[in-house]
Chains A and B, each alone.
Chain A
Amino acid sequence: MKSPVKILLINRHPPYGHAAARDSIDVALTGATLNQDVQLLFMGDGVYQLLPQHNASLLEQKNIGDLLSMLNMYGITQVYAQKKALEERSLSGEDLTIATQTLSDSDIQTLIAQQDCTLNF
């Protein structure tokens, strides 16, 4: 295995209403456990996953916010959010729970070009 593989998980779905957010976290945890270099990018509605105080118990679903804040214990520290998506939703980097770098769309192109693999959720 060439190691570590740079894997970018691009998240475009909000935290609830679609399995994508949970599916992405499962891949992130597996990749981190297997010592790969997993990074997360949140674009479009995906930035909603980064807001604090999810009340997932109302939906009988796992709390995505809690799961995301656990990821840095697994060595996943590079978390990015699309600047334009935040602005469109009247959010800023300060509203977000986990330490996130905000990126312009051209920074995102650079980030993607640096990866070995990107997966979409």
Chain B
Amino acid sequence: MRFSLVVQAPPASRQGSHSAYRFAQTLLTDGHELYRVFFYGDGIHNASRLYCPPKGEPNLPKLWQTLAQTYQLDLVVCIAAAMRRGLVDSNEAKRHHLDADNLLSGFQVSGLGQLIDATAHSDRVVSFD
């Protein structure tokens, strides 16, 4: 079965972000396909390169990055949701004359069209809030 996930929970604050990761990991090891993971709202914080959890707590951005490398996943971050929350890729940093960028590699910024595309191409869309 082909899945897409929508993640609106940020790491650290709510369980949803970790549940999304564990669900993704399980569906992949069970042999299902993961078409896209779309990070929206506060979920965009899962794509931060500067995330520093204390020892013993999961580093969700790095976990997603590794999973994406292993399975060639499409991790998409909504650009509007990201910008208004201070998550910026290098192109947007230049465009807005910001002195830093912080998007973790392995994630791409794009628009809500990618979310709608995922709904059209997946057997199941599962949300984590």
Contacts and interface: CB of A to CB of B under 8 A. Distances in A.
Interface residues of A, number: 19
A19 B41 contact: yes
Contacts, number: 50
Interface stretch (A24-32, A39-47, A66-74, A84-92): A24-32
Contacts of B8: 23, 120
Contact of B113 (A30, A117, A119): A30
B116 A31 contact: yes
Interface residues of B, number: 20
B128 to A, nearest CB: 9
Contacts of B115: 27, 30
Given A23-B41, A27-B112, A34-B113, A5 B129 contact: no
Contact of B119 (A26, A116, A120): A116
Q: By CB atoms of chain B within 10 A, which of A3, A5, A118 has the most? A: A5
Interface in A77-121: 116-120
B35 to A, nearest CB: 12
Contacts of A7: 116, 119
Contacts of B99: none
B125 A36 contact: no
A30 B41 contact: no
A30 B42 CA distance: 19
A30 B116 contact: yes
A20 B129 CA distance: 11
Given A119-B6, A119-B125, A120-B129, A23 B81 contact: yes
Given A5-B116, A34-B117, A36-B120, 18 more contacts: A1-B120, A1-B121, A3-B120, A5-B119, A5-B120, A7-B119, A23-B40, A30-B113, A31-B116, A31-B119, A34-B113, A34-B116, A36-B119, A117-B125, A119-B125, A119-B127, A120-B127, A120-B129
